[in-house]
Amino acid sequence: MPGSGTDRTRPPLQAAAPVIILVEPQMAENIGMCARAMANFGLSELRLVAPRDGWPTGGGLKKGATSAASGATHILDNARLYASAAEAIADLNHVLATTARERGQMKRVVTPAEAMPPLAARIGAGERVGILFGRERIGLTNEEISFSDAILTFPVNPAFASLNLAQAVLLAGYEWFKATGGDAPFREQTLSPPATRATILSMFDYVESELEHCGFFPPGKKPVMTANLRDILHRLSLTEQEARTLRGVFKSLAEGPRRRKPEQG
């Protein structure tokens, strides 16, 4: 049943995303951290199967989850309770079950990166999709995994494959967000266009002339050394402004000493 939160300003449920189903979560903090991970990546519908200690009753339990959610309380307030995994997935059309180990079931196994684009297509076609996450200590039972269409597993170090509940939800949510067009919230803005060849070649001519003037090139080595220098500068992929600034730096280094007056004895 829905939570009893009364905050009318909280974000609405977003139906066009996978439902996250936590089966018998044991710790309030884990429920809260899962809600936070969901909110990070645009997931908002949370279902809880027989959580320990009778969520959301008990002030301490709810308080611990709310604190761990770090602001994602709208997900906790709208979380729905179910008595079993079968009941929690009854209205869904497609279900993935998460596990870190082989279970001997002849099911397709996919990583989050492989799974999310097809899930997005299913949701776009009007299907309801869910992802089952198991208990903190023992995960999902074989019977619960048998309810699913495929197994979702994570590419982790096989010598240490254990993920906590919120980490698993976060990894799935991250790949979901990527698959549905999520991008970095900010990127470096380049206001100057790429440098023209004329600017770059002019800088080459100036630098090489000054290096020759100060005796930098050993006899017979100038062609090879100038080619290497040009390759170094090309790899910088300079903008027009950067190229002009760099030339100004070179000019200051070369001409600065010439402008200094000899120290008085």
Residue 263 resides in a domain = no
Looking at the fold, whether 151 and 203 belong to one and the same domain comes out as: no
DSSP string for 75-89: HHHT-EEESSHHHHT
Sign of torsion over alpha carbons 38, 62, 78, 74? negative
What's the pLDDT tens digit per position in 32-53? 999 999 999 999 999 999 988 6
Same domain, 206 and 248: yes
Based on the fold, state whether residues 215 and 163 are members of the same structural domain: no
pLDDT at 261: 58
Asked whether residue 157 is assigned to any structural domain, the reply reads: yes
Range of the domain at 86: 19-179
The predicted structure's pLDDT at residue 4:
35
109 shares its domain with 52 = yes
Distance of CA 13 to CAs 35, 55, 193, 196, Å?
Answer: 13, 20, 43, 50
The set of residues, in sequence order, having a beta carbon less than 8 Å from that of 8 and lying 6+ positions away, is none
Let me know if residue 120 belongs to a domain.
Answer: yes
Residue 261 covered by a domain: no
Greatest CA separation for the chain: 95
What's the burial of 235, exposed, middle or buried (CB within 10 Å: 0-12/13-18/19+)? exposed
Say yes or no: 111 and 242 in one domain: no
pLDDT at 8 (0 to 100): 35
Pair 167, 201 in one domain: no
Domain end call among 179, 206, 238: 179
pLDDT given at position 12: 44
Asked, for residue 13, whether it belongs to a domain, the answer is: no
CATH of the domain at 116: 3.40.1280.10
How many domains are there within the chain? Answer: 2
Domain end call among 127, 145, 179: 179
pLDDT one-digit tens code per residue, 1-10: 344 333 334 4
167 and 206 belong to one structural domain = no
Are residue 107 and residue 133 in the same domain, yes or no? yes
Shared domain for 169 and 201, answered yes or no, is no
**Which residues of the chain are under the pLDDT cut of 50?**
1-13, 15, 59-60, 265
Judgement on whether residues 173 and 69 belong to the same structural domain of the protein: yes
pLDDT at 172: 96
